[in-house]
Amino acid sequence: MGRLAREVAVIGIGQTRFDEHWNTTFRELGIEAGYRAMEDAGISSRMIDALYLGNMSAGLFLDQEHISSMIAEVVGLTEGQVPSTRVEAAGASGGLAFRQAILDVASGLNDIVVVGGAEKMSDVPSSVATEFIAAGADQAWEGLFGATMPSLFALMARKHMHDYRTTREQIGMVAVKNHRNGSMNPLAQFQREITLDMVLNAPPVAEPLGVFDCAPASDGAAAVVLCDLKTAKDLSEKPIKVIGTGQGSDSLSISNRPDITSMRATKAAANRAYEMAGVKPKDIQVAEVHDSYTISEIISLEDLSFFEKGDGGPATERGDTSLNSLISVNTSGGLKARGHPLGATGIAQITEIVQQLRGDCGERQVRDARFGLAQNLGGTGGTAVVHILEVV
C-alpha cells in the first residue's frame, strides 16, 4: 500500500468569481466552472470518463441532494451516462472530491476525470447559514449547547494565545496579508486591502475573533480536469503532476481531542502527503491553507511543519508567509479574501496552486514555484486533506 498504480496530473482549471451571486443559480455556477476547466484543458465533454463533486450542504441550503446527477446533466455528461459522484466532508468536501478523482484515475478505471466543487450560500439569511455551517461540527456535543463554528475557533485562538503567547495582532495579520493577496486576484470575493486597525476594531463575532477574522459565506464553483500522466503529456503542454495525497480524520467534537492548539488530522494528512511525494516542508514554495478563521491559518502553518509549534504567529508577523518571502501562503487571498463557498474551496485551492506552478498568476506570481501544497479542513479539523503538486 501507499503507492499509486498510475501517476496523475492536472491539465485544466476553471473557477467562477467567488461572490454573493444573487442572480445566478447553483446549476449556472457549476456550468461556468466546468466549462472553463474543459476549455482550459482543451477537451470536450465527450472525452470525460467520470465526474466528482465536492459539496457540503445543497441539502440544507437548497433542499437538493443528489447534485451529482444534476451537475452531470447541465455540463452535458448524462447523454453518455458518465458516472458522477458527490463527496462531502463539510469544508473539506472539495479536497476530498479531488482525492477521489485521483484514486479513480490511479486505479486504472478512468483516464480523464473532471472534479468540481460548488456551494450556493447566499440564498438563506446569514443566521440560517451560520446554523447550516455548524452542521459541520458535532450537533449532539457542540451545536446543541449553542456552539457555532466561529465560537469553536475562538476557543482555539484563546488557548493558542495562552499557551504560545500568540498575540491578537499576529492573528489579525493573517487577514491583512490575505486581503492584500486577494486584491491581486480578479476572481476573489474581496479585492480590497484592509489594515490591522480595521481587523482589531471590527465588530466581534466570537471574541477574540471579529468579522475580519472570519471567511465570508460565498457562492461559487471551481473545477479541474485530471488524467493519467501519459494522457496528460499528450493533451497538455504544461501538465501539473499530483505527487502527494494525504488525508486524516479526528473526532468531530473538539472536546474529544487532546489539544485544541493543533489539528491531528492535518498533521497525519501532511505526513502522508510528504511521504508519498518524497519532499519536505522546506521544499514547498507556495501553499494554500485553510484559513476559514485567521487562527486556523496560524495553526495550519505549524501542523504542516512550515514553522515550529508556537511560531505560526511570529512567522506571520515577520512576513515569512507573505508573497515571495520564505513561503507564500494563500496567494489567492485564501478563504478569507477569495471567499469560502464550502465545497468549492478545496478545488479553488488546487486551481490556485496549478496557476502558480504554471507561472500564470501575474502580479501575485510566486517566483520559481516548483512545489505547491494545498490543505483543506472539514469543520474544526475532523477531516483534513493535503495535496502536493509539482511542475512536470
Least distance from C-beta 291 to its own copies, angstroms? 19
Question: Is residue 191 a contact point for its own copies (CB under 8 A)?
Answer: no
Q: Of 308-337, which residues contact its own copies (CB under 8 A)?
A: none
Question: Is residue 247 a contact point for its own copies (CB under 8 A)?
Answer: yes
Burial label, 206 (beta-carbon count in 10 A; 0-12, 13-18, 19+)? buried
Applying CB under 8 A, which of residues 256, 275, 282, 308 lies at the interface with its own copies? 256
Applying CB under 8 A, which of residues 9, 115, 221, 252 lies at the interface with its own copies? 252
Least distance from C-beta 158 to its own copies, angstroms? 23
Least distance from C-beta 225 to its own copies, angstroms? 15
Question: Is residue 379 a contact point for its own copies (CB under 8 A)?
Answer: yes
Rounded Cα gap, residues 180 and 159, in angstroms: 27
Rounded Cα gap, residues 375 and 309, in angstroms: 17
Q: Of 84-143, which residues contact its own copies (CB under 8 A)?
A: 84-90, 96, 99-100, 102-104, 106-111, 131, 135-140, 143
Return the number of the residue (185 or 245) whose C-beta is nearest its own copies.
Answer: 245
Rounded Cα gap, residues 274 and 290, in angstroms: 18
Least distance from C-beta 228 to its own copies, angstroms? 8
Return the number of the residue (33 or 77) whose C-beta is nearest its own copies.
Answer: 77
Burial label, 107 (beta-carbon count in 10 A; 0-12, 13-18, 19+)? exposed
b/e map 231-257, b = 16+ CB within 10 Å: bbeebbeebbbbbbbbbbbbbbbbeeb
> How many chain residues interact with its own copies (CB under 8 A)?
75
Contact 191, 183 (CB under 8 A): yes
Neighbours of 89 (CB within 10 A): 26
b/e map 303-321, b = 16+ CB within 10 Å: bbbbbeebbbbbbbeeebb
Rounded Cα gap, residues 297 and 63, in angstroms: 32
Return the number of the residue (72 or 295) whose C-beta is nearest its own copies.
Answer: 72
Binding mask 40-69 for its own copies (x = CB under 8 A): ---------xxx----xx-xx-xxxxx-xx
Least distance from C-beta 90 to its own copies, angstroms? 4
Least distance from C-beta 303 to its own copies, angstroms? 12
> What 3-state DSSP class applies to 133?
helix
Binding mask 342-361 for its own copies (x = CB under 8 A): --------------------
Return the number of the residue (140 or 146) whose C-beta is nearest its own copies.
Answer: 140
Residue 212 grid coordinates: 475580519
